[in-house]
Amino acid sequence: MLELKRTTKRFVGGEVVTTALNAVSLRINAGEYVAVVGPSGCGKSTLLSILGLLDSPDEGEYWFDGRNVAGRRESELSEQRRGRIGFIFQSFNLIESLSVMENVELALEYAGIPAAERRERVAEMLGKLGIAHRGAHRPSQLSGGQQQRVAIARALVNRPAVLLADEPTGNLDSAHGDEVMSILEKINAEGTTIVMVTHSPEHAARAARTIGLLDGAIKQ
C-alpha cells in the first residue's frame, strides 16, 4: 500500500547539502503497525513527511494507493492526502481559540462534510477516545494525555487509511504515554495502518515491526 523505491531526499542550505534519505526502499502493507527508530537527525521526520505526502522525494519512487506520486505538484499531493492520511505529532498542535469539539470538527469542515454529520461524527469520535465530557473545554484546560487524545480524534475523524505519528508520546508522562499507545493498538486492530516514529524502545516493541534508520538509510 505504501512503497518507497530507492527514495532520496536532500535539503540544500547554502553550500551544504544534507541527504536526509539515501535511496530508501521500503514497503508497508495495509493494516500494518510499524515503528521507525533511530538517532536524532537520521531522517525519521523526513521519512514520515514523504510517506504522508507533505513532501516529495528528489529521486526514486513513492507508490501510494497504487500510484507513483513522486514529483507530483503540491495541489495533487494534498488532494491525495485528504481523507486518506491522518497525522499526530509530539506537540499536539491544537488550536487554543477553539473548543475540543471545534478542533475535531475543523478537520471535517476542510473535507466538506455537512454540519449535522460533522457534529455526529465528532461526538462519536470524542466518545470513542473517552473525552466526550471535555468537548466544550479549551485545549489548555486538559492534561497532556487528554490533548493528545483530542489530536488523535482530529486525525481519525476523517477515517483515514493511514495514521502517521511523529513521537506521539514524546511530551507525555509514562502513564499517559501508555494510554496513547493502547489507543493506537486499538485503532490498528480496527484496520488503520500506522507508522510511528518513537524514541522509546518500549513503545517501538508494541508495534508489529520496527524499522531502524541511520544516516538516512535503513539499518539491516
156 sits near ligand ADP (criterion: CB under 6 A) = no
Cα separations in angstroms, 9 against 22, 48, 55, 59, 62: 7, 12, 9, 7, 12
- State in angstroms the smallest separation of the CB of 56 from ligand ADP: 13
107 contact partners, CB below 8 Å, separation of at least 6: 154, 155, 157, 158
40 sits near ligand ADP (criterion: CB under 6 A) = yes
* Residue number, 41 or 201, with CB nearest to ligand ADP: 41
* Residue number, 44 or 149, with CB nearest to ligand ADP: 44
45 sits near ligand ADP (criterion: CB under 6 A) = yes
193 contact partners, CB below 8 Å, separation of at least 6: 1, 2, 28, 29, 30, 31, 32, 33, 161, 162, 163
Bridge-based pairing state of the strands 193-197 and 209-214: unpaired
Cα separations in angstroms, 188 against 18, 144, 162, 196: 34, 22, 9, 12
* Residue number, 10 or 82, with CB nearest to ligand ADP: 10
44 sits near ligand ADP (criterion: CB under 6 A) = yes
41 sits near ligand ADP (criterion: CB under 6 A) = yes
167 sits near ligand ADP (criterion: CB under 6 A) = no
8 DSSP β-pair partners: 59
Q: CA-to-CA distance for 176 and 189, rounded, in angstroms?
A: 20
* Residue number, 21 or 94, with CB nearest to ligand ADP: 21
* Residue number, 50 or 194, with CB nearest to ligand ADP: 50
18 sits near ligand ADP (criterion: CB under 6 A) = yes
13 sits near ligand ADP (criterion: CB under 6 A) = yes
56 sits near ligand ADP (criterion: CB under 6 A) = no
50 sits near ligand ADP (criterion: CB under 6 A) = no
20 sits near ligand ADP (criterion: CB under 6 A) = yes
Q: With CB under 6 A as the contact rule, which of the stretches 42-50, 145-153, 170-178, 187-195 interacts with ligand ADP? A: 42-50
Bridge-based pairing state of the strands 16-28 and 193-197: unpaired
Q: CA-to-CA distance for 14 and 18, rounded, in angstroms?
A: 11
Greatest C-alpha distance within the chain: 54
127 sits near ligand ADP (criterion: CB under 6 A) = no
Which residues sit at the interface with ligand ADP, rule CB under 6 A?
Answer: 11, 13, 18, 20, 38, 40-46
